[in-house]
Structure 1
Amino acid sequence: MTNQVVLRVILGPDNSQRVVISAGLPSSVAALEAEIQTQCKIMTPFRLQFMDPLFGNDFVNLTSIEEIQDKATLKVVYTVIQPQDQDEDSFSFPSTSAPDVASSSSGDSTVILSSPESTSSRSSWPDLFLVPRFTYDAEIKLEKAHVAFKENGMLLIPDPKLKSDILEGLIQEVVKHTVYPTDRKFDQVAEALILRHPCLKEKGSPSGYAGWKMSLKYKLSNYRTHLRKVGCPEVCVNALKHKPAEKCSPAYDVKRPKRGEVDYCPPFPLGESEQSLETIRIELLSDVKKRNNRDAIKDKMNKTFSLRRQEVIYDAPMISELQERWPALFDPAEINAEFKRITTMPLQSRFLSQLDFLSESLLRVFSKRSGKQGKMLKDLTDRMMVRTCQLSNFFNYQQSSINIFFAQDMTDVSTLNAIEKTTAGVYVAKETPGKDFPDVGIIIEGVVILQDLDNVALATAMLFGLFYCFNMSYPAQLRYTFEVIQKVVMELDPTELSRKAQNLKTKLQ
């Protein structure tokens, strides 16, 4: 028979709790987190640290259940900001990721993902999915089943009403983050359910939740049908009436968040219509021509976000059309703001701080390259400033065809020909001795769309942000480069990486 385990769990300053697990230590860290979450009634995402005797009993992240034993001391580290009205004993530990310039000024070391620019009621997908409380009668049934499970290991076969209530509660929690979860996210939800309520585990299923996962998929599919009927833009964009007649099939050109977008296709603000927002858009055309008008432009761009986003996703206009209709968007400040509306994450400060954070690891990886490519990386390192060097080396390391080319005269015929042939790139012009490059710009589809940026690092951040602003797919020849920027540098939807991206991430660690 498995021996009982007693753990001391630190929840905050002057706040700890004894956790008793009668069945012994769980088989995984995720199962232990679920048990602590249940017994300590923790309602926010967290991770665990254990007291490591190898480092003078300092707390270290818990990655393996073998690291702890009976009477061990664990510490709860919250991964999001605690609500203001939470118990005063609760607290947030600093995040272990790179510091964010935008949020550090507030005095809190935890990255804040919401902002005035973000009009979304959604949040990014949590590291640990929290199972919500279900209806009152469902909770009573589950409590009785939990007692029976602890006494004799009896599993519950839920009746149709109870199963429907459970699925409905889970789906309402899922759509707070996305209406198009990936297969991995369905796994997380179903696994969290049986960890929170072990009596719901399925007999004969290797994972214990395969049936729940399938039921969740069907339930959410039916719920999306309901959302389409009530006019949810993110679902309506995939309706058959919005697809070409010659390719009118449900599977053709499905538009959904694929790169960690939180507010992918928002509805119009309450009290606003397409006509009223179009009026504001027309006012913006004259506002951008006025001086010292930044606040008015910012406010109107924020109000028209849903109109602009639906236009980009539904119609997929050319960049020249977007320049004509939304000239204010082609400005670094507005690209930063638009990216934050879409992802709830700052762009420029996050990119540059993460690049600095990874600089030592990048230089170490580049230095290990040999042969012709290794010599080229070393030459670039010797003659270029740090951030520009890192990015140029990174593109070469990835064997990417992105262009970072230097030109003394942007009107030169050879330079114009190079621009026309560039799918996506960065140019550096008018080099001045003893001074940073005064003219750095971005080229997309053979057109210069942004000029007078400070440096290549900033230009790369803006180029990455523009792919989100215009809902553009990464060019085939750049997919690995921007995958690493997205998932390794920016840490947007970082769970599923290609082999090349995972290989570089492993080397950086």
Structure 2
Amino acid sequence: MAAQNFLLHVHTSTDIVRKMTLSSRPESVDELKTMIGEKFNLDFNFSLSYQDPDFDGQLCSLLDIEELPQKAVLKVIRSESDASSVASDDTIILPHAMTPDRVNRWPDVFPVPIFSYEVEFLLSDGNATYDRTGKTLKLSRRQKHDILETLAAKMHSFKAYPNDKEVSMVAEALVIKHPCLKEPGSQTGWYGWKNSLKFKMGNFRTKLSRAGFHEVAINSGKRSRNNPNKPSPHTNIKRPKRAEVNFLPNFPRGENAASLERLRLQIVDEVKKSDKNLSLIGKLMQTTFALRRNEIVSDDPPVDEILERWPALKMESQVKTFFVLHLFEQIYHI
């Protein structure tokens, strides 16, 4: 049997895509990196990540060549330690500070996750019974809680505030995959699941807010029984716009507002120099991204104030980086 070609889409820079066809699987990841480097004239150190089809296209580091799919989307990640790396390069740098809690936008088809071992066993048996007799499965309160909690976590991996249509999509996907969960007498078979998911997402956001997740904590502290004079909890909700993934990330691990403020002042000093260290400025801007987003989302300052506090945003290299990263978010859902 003839070997099949490997079809690769390789993202090496600001180009939308570069195609590459291999007659066979390379012997190792290093060999693949050599082939990519030679074909696209890459003169720097880099690693490779690929969109894993087993995990809804999320980016995974390519460490074992056997993990390379027959049709793969690869991303060249330039090593931060590379001595030739500068912020004005065309190559996209995706540092730890820019990695969001979620890496994909809301999908066209919602992937129902795997539930606990017990629930999966019950669903498997329940689906078989439904196929034979049309009888639906009756769940205990704890089992239903497991399903709703797992679905809420999966929904949050795409969006913290799904709209009515998106919640409906999740409920429908659930009963399509597990028809034994259909609601007898319901026109859709999933309307009750939809309502339960809405309440569960609200509870899920509350737990995340108490745990300190900035994206949802910023919307807490609204009107309640103990604070009747505060704004309605449904007004002025701060949430991502369309195609916006890195809305309000938490600070990088080990950093806080004070440490990031020191880095911001270092950026201000470096920008004032006639001989600017572009590589240093780029890395500092990436590390302080969460602080900058927190100021913009929480305080809503005027543009001139933002540029005064973050003068590197006036630099061509940083404007380019900003638009390239947002372009990748919108096109590749990273």
C-alpha distance in 1 between matches for 2:139 and 2:328: 44
Which one of 80, 87, 92 corresponds to residue 71 of structure 2?
Answer: 92
The 3-state SS of whatever aligns with 2:195 is: helix
Aligned pairs for 1:415-426 (under 5 A) are none
Q: Over aligned residue pairs, what C-alpha RMSD do you find?
A: 3.3
* Structure number with bigger Rg: 1
1:249 pairs with 2:232: yes
CA 1:320–1:246: 2 relative to 1, 3 Å: farther
2:99 match: 119
Q: 1:152 to 1:127 in 2, by over 3 A?
A: same
Give the number of the structure with larger relative contact order, counting CA–CA contacts within 8 Å between residues 6 or more apart.
Answer: 2
User: Structure 2 length as normaliser, TM-score?
Assistant: 0.69
Aligned counterpart, 1:142: 123
Describe the superposition over 1:89-135 as per-residue Cα deviations: whole angstroms up to 9, x where unpaired: 8422689xxxxxx98xxxxxxxxx99337321311223332111111
1:199 Cα deviation from its structure 2 partner: 1.2
- Residue 346 (1) aligns with residue 328 (2): yes
Q: CA deviation at 1:253?
A: 1.1
Q: Distance in 2 between matches of 1:273 and 1:167?
A: 33
Is 2:199 the partner of 1:218?
yes
Pick closer, same or farther for the CA change 1:320–1:270 going to 2, 3 Å.
same
Find the counterpart in structure 1 of residue 156 from structure 2: 175
Q: Mind listing any 5+ residue stretches in structure 2 that lack a counterpart?
A: 6-52, 77-91
Q: Which amino acid is 1:310 matched to?
A: N
Amino acid in structure 1 at the alignment position of 2:262:
T
In structure 2, the partner of 1:263 is 246
Contact 1:122/1:177 (8 A) holds in 2 = yes
CA distance in structure 1 between the partners assigned to 2:169 and 2:160 by the alignment: 15
Equivalent of 2:295, from 304, 307, 311?
311
Offset at 1:246?
A: 7.7
Q: 2:210 aligns with which of 220, 224, 229?
A: 229
Taking the aligned partners of 2:129 and 2:222, their CA distance within structure 1 comes to 51
Q: Tell me the equivalent position of 1:297.
A: 281
Q: CA deviation at 1:284?
A: 0.6
Residue pairs, 1:44-443, within 5 angstroms: 44-45=55-56, 84=62, 90-92=69-71, 115-116=94-95, 118-124=98-104, 125-240=106-221, 248-290=231-273, 291-339=275-323, 343=326, 345-346=327-328
Alignment partners' CA distance in 2, 1:286 and 1:130:
48
Structure 1 partner of 2:12:
none
Rounded Cα–Cα distance in structure 2 between residues aligned with 1:89 and 1:286 = 45
The verdict on how the C-alpha distance between 1:316 and 1:82 changes in structure 2, with shifts beyond 3 A counting, is closer
Contact persistence 1:44–1:130 (CA under 8 A) = no
- Asked if structure 2 preserves the Cα contact closer than 8 Å seen for 1:82 and 1:91, the reply is no
CA distance in 1, matches of 2:305, 2:321: 21
Aligned partner letter, 2:54: M
Q: Does 1:43 align with 2:24?
A: no
SS at match of 2:115: coil
Match of 1:484 in 2: none
**Cα deviation digits, residues 252-274 of structure 1 (max 9, x gap):** 21111122211110111111110
Shift of 1:82: 7.8
2:24 equivalent in structure 1: none
In the superposition, relative to structure 1, how do residues 202 and 170 fare at CA in structure 2: closer, same or farther (>3 Å)?
same
Q: Kindly indicate whether the alpha-carbon contact (under 8 Å) linking 2:103 and 2:158 is maintained by their aligned counterparts in 1.
A: yes
Alpha-carbon distance in 2 for matches of 1:80, 1:314 = 29
2:26 match = none
Amino acid of the structure 2 residue aligned with 1:158: L
Letter in 1 for 2:288: T
- Please give the secondary structure, in 2, of the residue aligned with 1:176: helix
User: Which string of whole-angstrom CA distances, capped at 9 and with x for unpartnered residues, describes residues 182-221 of structure 1?
Assistant: 2222122222211221211222223221111111110010
Give yes or no for contact 2:183–2:189 (8 Å, CA) kept in 1: yes
SS in 1 for 2:158: coil
The answer on whether the counterparts of 1:154 and 1:199 sit within 8 Å (CA) in structure 2 is yes
CA distance in 1, matches of 2:66, 2:175: 28
Instruction: Tell me by how many angstroms 1:240 deviates.
Output: 2.9
Question: Following the alignment from structure 1 to structure 2, what is the Cα–Cα distance between the partners of residues 88 and 320?
Answer: 48
> SS where residue 139 of structure 1 aligns?
helix
Tell me the number of residue pairs that the alignment of Structure 1 and Structure 2 aligns: 262
C-alpha distance in structure 2 between counterparts of 1:258 and 1:325, whole Å: 24
SS of equivalent residue, structure 1 residue 175: helix
Secondary structure of the residue that 1:267 maps to in structure 2?
coil
Q: Could you tell me which amino acid in structure 2 is paired with residue 284 of structure 1? A: I
What TM-score do you get using the length of structure 1 for normalisation?
0.46
Give the AA of the match of 1:120.
Answer: P
Q: Distance in 2 between matches of 1:324 and 1:288?
A: 12
What CA deviation, in whole Å up to 9, does each residue of 1:236-289 have, x standing for no partner? 2112369xx986221221111122211110111111110110011011111112
